[in-house]
Amino acid sequence: MGATVRDVLGRWAIVLVFALLYGVAVLLSDAFLEPVYVGNILRQAAPVGIAAIGTTLVMILGAVDLSIGAIISFSAVFCAVMMQGEAGNIGIAVAATLVVAAAFGAINGALNLASPGSSFILTLGSALALYGLTQLYSGGTARGIVSPGFREFFNHRLGDVLPVLALAMLAIAAVMEIVLRTTRFGRQIYLIGSNREAARLSGLPVAAVTFACYVVSGLFAGLGGIAVLARSGVSSTFVGRGFEFDALAAIVLGGTVFRGGRGTVVGTVAGTLVLFIAFNLVNILGFNYNLQLVLKGTIIIVASAGYAWLGRDR
């Protein structure tokens, strides 16, 4: 009996937390009832949310990708440089950025295959190397000019409320959730994450799936970088620094346990929203901006402990 209740709680915990937090937020400030403000929160959350969706796959697999902050930073700068301020370049700039970002994901994947089980430090190392590369590429300044119309398009509010960028995040999330739930690839990810050895012995293509997940994570980090460019332009070569913390917090909050085998994209997106509502709450109540860092860390720890407790005795 207890196990079933815990089961249900585990699955719906994030929704409960979201509802609870939103309720508290509304009580503390009626800004949260204004559609424009809520639309703003969604847009703020979009870069992290999109990147986190990709990384969710890696974490269901039982590994981590801590290099997404670096990939986001590089992608934002690279995309702006490719655009060169010409509207006609948008297509090729975005495409080139995604290819390069996916390539970094591939490098991460290859490294992980060469030395499985050390993904956290491998991706920390590749992140450092990529930060160096970004600086070399840009010469220190955020060179590059965003094409006209690009930012306007993504910041435009549909129905005066929902920014296109936010809609993009929701659409991407829906697609990836479907992929996870219905395709064989998705099922394989869950199986490998639950028990890597058993999966390998059953003949599942563990190496290929792992590699693919890292490529996806890199690709989505690239999307996240483009999203950052859309949302606030680029004025430095490390716009994405720290995003890996936000993403990890969102993913863990959304129910993807660190050990692997469980998790959903929907949970990650919900976790992202919870995170950004919390951040905005901190700001709007006039608290020190740095309390957000404390909040992030606490969420990571408490959410991990909570889900671990809910999932015990499985």
Partner 1 sequence: MAFDAVAAARSARNAGIYALLVAAVVLAALFVPSFATPTNVGNVVTQSAALGLVAIGQTFVIAAGMIDLSVGQLLGLSVVLTCALSEGRGELLVPVALAMVALGAVVGSVHSWLVNWLRIEPLILTFGSLSILQGVIFTMTDRSVGRAPEALRWIANERVLGFPVAGVLLVVFGVVAHALLRNTRFGLRLLATGDDGESARRAGVDVARVRWGAFVLSAIGATAGGLLVAGRLGTGYPNAGQGFELDAIVAAVLGGTSLAGGRASIVGTIGAVLLLGVIANVLNLLEVSAFVQTLAKGLIVVGAILLTRGAPVVAARAPGAVAAG
Partner 2 sequence: MRNEPSRRTFVGGSLALALGGTSTLLTPLAARAQTTDRAAQKKQMAETVDTAKFKKAGPYTIGVAAGYMSNSWVVFCLQHIRWEASQHKDVKDVIVTDASFNPGKQVADIEDLISKNVSLIIYWPVDEKAIQPALEKAVAKGIPTINAGGGFTYSNGTVSNAFIDQYALGEMVAQHFAADLGGKGKVFAMLPIAGTTAAVDQLAALKDVLAKHKGIELLSAEHGDWNRAKAKQITENLLQRYPKIDGVYSPAGQMSMGVVEAFEEAGRAKNLVMSPGDEYNGWMKWVVKNKKGGAVTFPTRAGQEATKLGLRILAGQPVPRGLVIPSQYIAPAEAAKYAEMDKPDDWWASNLPANFKPKA
- Which residues in this chain contact partner 1 in the complex, by CB under 8 A? 62-64, 111, 114-122, 124-133, 135-136, 140, 196-197, 245, 248, 252, 258-259, 288, 290-301, 304-305, 308-309, 312
Residue 127 tokens read as 């992140």
Give 18-30 as a DSSP string.
HHHHHHHHHHH-G
Any idea what DSSP says for residue 157? E
Cα four-point dihedral sign 217, 219, 223, 226 = positive
Give whichever of 87 and 301 is closer to partner 1, judged by the CB atom.
301
Q: Nearest distance from residue 238's CB to partner 1, in Å?
A: 11
Cα separation of 150 and 194, whole Å? 42
Q: Which stretch binds partner 2 (CB under 8 A): 10-18, 139-147, 187-195, 301-309?
A: 139-147
- Which partner in partner 2, partner 1, none is near 36 (CB below 5 to 8 A by kind)? partner 2
* Residue 162 phi, psi (nearest 5): -95, 115
272 binds partner 2 (CB under 8 A): no
149 binds partner 2 (CB under 8 A): no
37 binds partner 2 (CB under 8 A): yes
Which pairs count as long-range contacts for 86-92, CB under 8 Å and 24+ apart, including other chains? Answer: 86/147, 87/147, 87/148, 87/149, 87/150, 88/147, 89/147, 90/147, 90/149, 90/150
155 binds partner 2 (CB under 8 A): yes
Give whichever of 159 and 286 is closer to partner 1, judged by the CB atom.
286
Q: Nearest distance from residue 127's CB to partner 1, in Å?
A: 7
Sequence-distant (6+) residues with CB within 8 A of 305 are none
229 binds partner 2 (CB under 8 A): no
